[in-house]
Amino acid sequence: MSEENIEEVRVLEAQIECLQAEVEALQRQQQDNHKDITLQLRGQMQDAMSYLCGQKQGGEEMVMSRLKEEVEELEKDLKRQTQMNGICLNTCTTKTLQSSGSKLVQQHCVSGQCSELVFQVEFQYSEIKEGQGSERTISDLNVVMDASDMQNFSTFLSSVEEKSDLLLFFRSLRTFSDRCEERYRTFEHFQAKYPSVVSLPAGSRSEVMTLNHPELPGCVLFVHWSLEVSSEGEVTPKVELLTKIPEEALQLFPSQALGGADEAFQSLLRILGPEAAIESVIRAVSLSQES
């Protein structure tokens, strides 16, 4: 081999050694880069997971906070509604009978009271989606109340159930309750003011108040205060004065003023109203010795 060839071989070997050194350096750099990337990705993933976990925890706290605010607002709204309409709801249960994309059917049972009137209402609520809107209906309305002393209201309830008019029931219930309270307060007032004359055999919340006098045995005046409720929910007080006068006592009054007592009482009602008319009757026939 000539000297030129030997020199070329040496140059090539030197180049090969340099290339091998570069390859090793590149391999080490690649390994270092891979480690850096792995550590970086791992750190980023950990940061992301920590962020997501933190977001989830914060989201739960936010949801709970919003739910608490909504409950508080609902409680305030319920209190306002109770103060406005006088109806206090005690329980409310809901049972879903059917639920699909376009139709929802639920059975509701609500119990509560309006003043002294306790009620329980059961009805079926249906909602059918049609396009952008929906149709809501109430059916199978059933109202349970202690209506032993309010026959006229029982008739109204039957009409409400037949028409499934839940709104009419609650609106009329408040009006009927207010009229009952007016009668109760009037009866209580006269019993306290004229204890020796006024008696309430069936209690202050009954429809009848009796007027007696110890010196007129057998002579009794009955104030019958009923409440008539139309099928449209209109509540109308009806106050009548009924007499129970022995025949002997009637003979003492040739003008038969007591016999026409109710007609005169109705005139007083139109002019004075129930409370003043009743008190006028007590004084006019001299049944009262109280001042």
Distance CA 273, CA 204 (A): 19
pLDDT tens, position by position, 147-191: 555 677 888 888 999 999 998 998 899 899 889 999 999 999 999
pLDDT at 288: 46
289 domain residue, yes or no: no
Q: Is residue 255 part of a domain?
A: yes
Give pLDDT tens digits for 108-157.
999 988 888 889 999 999 988 887 788 889 999 999 987 555 677 888 88
Domain with 142 in it: 85-177
Residue 259 lies in a domain: yes
> Is the residue at 201 inside a domain?
yes
State the maximum Cα–Cα separation within the chain, in Å, rounded to a whole number.
Answer: 172
On whether residue 291 sits in a domain, the answer given is no
Summarised one tens digit per residue, pLDDT across range 190-224 is 999 888 888 898 888 889 999 887 676 777 888 99
Contacts of 94 (CB under 8 A, 6+ apart): 106, 107, 108
Task: Kindly report, residue by residue over 58-72, the tens digit of the pLDDT.
Answer: 556 676 777 777 766
pLDDT at 291: 47
Please indicate, yes or no, whether residues 280 and 190 belong to a single structural domain of this protein: yes
* Rounded Cα gap, residues 196 and 264, in angstroms: 24
Q: What pLDDT is attached to residue 108? A: 92
Residue 169 burial (CB < 10 Å; 0-12/13-18/19+)? buried
Residue-wise pLDDT for 1-52, tens only, equals 566 666 666 766 666 776 677 767 666 766 665 565 555 555 655 555 555 5
- Tokens 């409720």 belong to 229
pLDDT of 80 strictly over 70: no
Q: Using the 3D structure, point to which of 177, 194, 221 is the last residue of a domain.
A: 177
Note whether 89 and 59 are same-domain residues. no
Domain annotation covers residue 226:
yes
Answer whether residue 118 is part of any domain: yes
pLDDT at site 54: 55
Stronger pLDDT, 68 or 279, i.e. the higher one: 279
Indicate whether 94 and 78 sit together in one domain: no
The answer on 198 and 280 residing in a single domain is yes
Q: How far apart are CA 86 and CA 178, in angstroms?
A: 9
Are residues 3 and 50 located together in one domain of the fold? yes
For residue 55, pLDDT beyond 80: no
Nearest to 109 by CA among 153, 77, 141: 141
Q: Are residues 161 and 189 in the same domain?
A: no
Residue 276 to residues 70, 175, 193, 242, 272: CA-CA distances in angstroms?
Answer: 49, 22, 13, 17, 6
Could you tell me if 237 and 207 lie in one domain?
A: yes
Given 146, 177, 208, which residue is the final one in a domain?
177
pLDDT digits (tens, 9 = 90+) for 244-278: 766 655 555 554 555 567 788 888 888 888 899 99
Query: Are 93 and 152 found together in one domain?
Result: yes
Claim to verify: residue 164 and residue 197 sit in the same structural domain: no
Same domain, 188 and 280: yes
Number of folded domains that form the chain: 3
pLDDT at site 36? 57
Last residue of a domain, one of 177, 194, 215: 177
| Interior angle at CA 60, CA 58 and CA 66, nearest 5 | 100
The answer to whether residues 188 and 272 belong to one domain is yes
CA 161 to chain centre: 19
Same domain, 50 and 139: no
* pTM for this model (two decimals): 0.65
Burial of 282 (0-12, 13-18, 19+ CB in 10 A): buried
- Domain presence at residue 25: yes
